[in-house]
Structure 1
Amino acid sequence: MPRTAISDPSKVDPARAEGSLLAALNGFKLDPTRSYTAQVHNQLREAIVRGILPPRTALSEATISKLIDVSRTPVREALAQLADEQMVLIYRQVGTIVAPVRISLLEEGRFVRSTLECASHVQLAQTITPEQLTEFGQIVERQRNAVKSGEIDRFSELDELMHRRLFEFAGREHVWAMLEPIKRQFDRVRWLLLGHVAGHAERALREHEQMLAQMASRDVAGLGASVSSHINHITAHLAALREQAPESYFVD
């Protein structure tokens, strides 16, 4: 799977910063029946998580409003929500930038995911139905196809789907919803790893295949170890990512 260079957004001129916003909002249309603030918030958050808006990128309230043809009020409210979630930094009278990845928050996300997923998946292995195993296997097969074709975005989407469905199989969909805000920094790094660290997607796929086999054989002990290792590998690969990324991407 090809890798691309990670540029330093702090050295990008205003035209390129606006280009990042264009990419983030490409095809985005507001639904007049839903909250404008919520829609803008979700769109910008996803663009930050996926690295379309990299750390330190300037987010112009006026530019965003113009691009999506909306007043500045919902944009301002959406940015305030993202600041509360530590996804952006707002400097009064100066401007707003995408926040760097905080290593402490990344570690919190890793710890919570590792703890809850190990416990939930181990218990699920004892109750999972043939129909659920079939769906699990189908998701892994689609991941395999995405890796073969180099579709990084598709693989990441399927990875998210797989983990969510395993919680839902266990009747814990609300736990997954609770995890969502906690794991945002974790997700940002996962997207960067898929695009910039060789072999990360292939390794994740092998681990998913192993988890599927262990779930099918009711190998509770093996599954617990596999899930823990799978979640914790992000820390090991983080060092390689930090060697490639500008210092502005991360803050300890």
Structure 2
Amino acid sequence: MIIGLTFKPNEALSEKELAVRLGVSRTPVREALIRLAEETLVDVFPQRGTIVSPIRVAEVMEAQFLREALEAAVARRAAEQPSTTLIRDLSRLIDDQTHAANAGLPEDYMPLDEAFHRTISEGTGMPRAWRLIQSVKGQMDRVRFLSLPNKAHMLLLTEQHAEIFKAIETQDPDRAEAAMRHHLKEVLKTIQELAAEMPAIFA
């Protein structure tokens, strides 16, 4: 809900209201908010309560740096000896992404984007690498969500995914690493444009 901007940056959150909305007790909500605070997606202020954090440009840049370092290495490893299952799964995901992008369906595209990156990590035998990436990329994901309604942007990301896939399929580690680095730098271009358009939600 935070990443998808159902809850906007700087919006106050109530444990009680969240528990009712989600149909759970307040205890798991409180535990979730603690986790979200650790991931810097919410800010907790004594006497004031919990608010959704603004999108902090510095944290997006840091997350991009960490993600690029890890995923570029994963892509290189994937291209060294890809399994037939990995190639099949990535090919199918590229087809599905192309359909979602051409149809202008960002709500379908984002899960497919996530699946593409997760599949590379898991298909290379490194599922913990993806879990580590997930723990740092929340701020980055909010920027991605803001940019996805742009059909041209979805098509561009799909082209970049296809380049990563082709490098893995042809067992070209150097090309796979370079393509992944290029792809993950895309958010750095996007964030400058979005911050200028929507300064109220950025910090």
Asked if TM exceeds 0.5, the reply is yes
Which one of the candidate residues 185, 188, 191 is aligned to 1:238?
191
Amino acid in structure 1 at the alignment position of 2:44:
I
Conserved? CA contact 2:86–2:119, under 8 Å: no
Deviates more, 1:93-102 or 1:58-67: 58-67
Match of 2:181 in 1: 228
Conserved? CA contact 2:81–2:171, under 8 Å: no
Q: Deviations over 1:176-227 (max 9, x none)?
A: 11121111111111111113x5621111001111111222222322222211
Residues paired across the two proteins, number: 203
Conserved? CA contact 1:88–1:99, under 8 Å: yes
Give the greater-gyration-radius structure (CA). Answer: 1
Q: State the SS of the aligned residue for 2:2.
A: helix
For residues 130 and 73 of structure 1, the distance between their equivalents in structure 2, rounded to whole angstroms, comes to 44
- Confirm whether residue 66 of structure 1 aligns to residue 20 of structure 2: yes
State the superposition RMSD in angstroms. 1.7
Match of 1:248 in 2: 200
For residues 221 and 81 of structure 1, the distance between their equivalents in structure 2, rounded to whole angstroms, comes to 37
Written as runs of structure 1 = structure 2, the 5 A alignment for 1:112-127 is 112-127=66-81
Shift of 1:61: 2.5
Conserved? CA contact 1:204–1:230, under 8 Å: yes
Runs (4+) off by over 3 Å: 68-74
Conserved? CA contact 1:55–1:99, under 8 Å: yes
For residues 250 and 235 of structure 1, the distance between their equivalents in structure 2, rounded to whole angstroms, comes to 14
For residues 74 and 26 of structure 2, the distance between their equivalents in structure 1, rounded to whole angstroms, comes to 43
Conserved? CA contact 2:98–2:158, under 8 Å: yes
Amino acid in structure 1 at the alignment position of 2:190:
H
Shift of 1:131: 2.7
Which one of the candidate residues 87, 90, 95 is aligned to 2:44?
90
Q: Deviations over 1:141-191 (max 9, x none)?
A: 011111122110211101101101101111111111112111111111111
Amino acid in structure 2 at the alignment position of 1:86:
T
Match of 1:217 in 2: 170
For residues 134 and 111 of structure 1, the distance between their equivalents in structure 2, rounded to whole angstroms, comes to 29
Amino acid in structure 2 at the alignment position of 1:91:
F
C-alpha change, 1:79 and 1:111, in structure 2 (3 Å) is same
For residues 98 and 73 of structure 1, the distance between their equivalents in structure 2, rounded to whole angstroms, comes to 19
Conserved? CA contact 2:57–2:191, under 8 Å: no
Amino acid in structure 1 at the alignment position of 2:6:
I
Amino acid in structure 2 at the alignment position of 1:249:
I
Match of 1:17 in 2: none
Match of 2:138 in 1: 184
C-alpha change, 1:137 and 1:104, in structure 2 (3 Å) is same
For residues 190 and 48 of structure 1, the distance between their equivalents in structure 2, rounded to whole angstroms, comes to 13
The unaligned stretches of length 5 or more in structure 1 are: 1-46
Instruction: Give identity over the alignment, percent.
Output: 30
Conserved? CA contact 1:56–1:248, under 8 Å: no
Written as runs of structure 1 = structure 2, the 5 A alignment for 1:3-42 is none
Normalised by the length of structure 2, the TM-score is: 0.92
Amino acid in structure 2 at the alignment position of 1:232:
K
The unaligned stretches of length 5 or more in structure 2 are: none
Written as runs of structure 1 = structure 2, the 5 A alignment for 1:125-140 is 125-140=79-94
Amino acid in structure 1 at the alignment position of 2:176:
L
For residues 231 and 140 of structure 1, the distance between their equivalents in structure 2, rounded to whole angstroms, comes to 17
C-alpha change, 1:198 and 1:148, in structure 2 (3 Å) is closer
C-alpha change, 1:237 and 1:135, in structure 2 (3 Å) is same
Conserved? CA contact 1:114–1:227, under 8 Å: yes
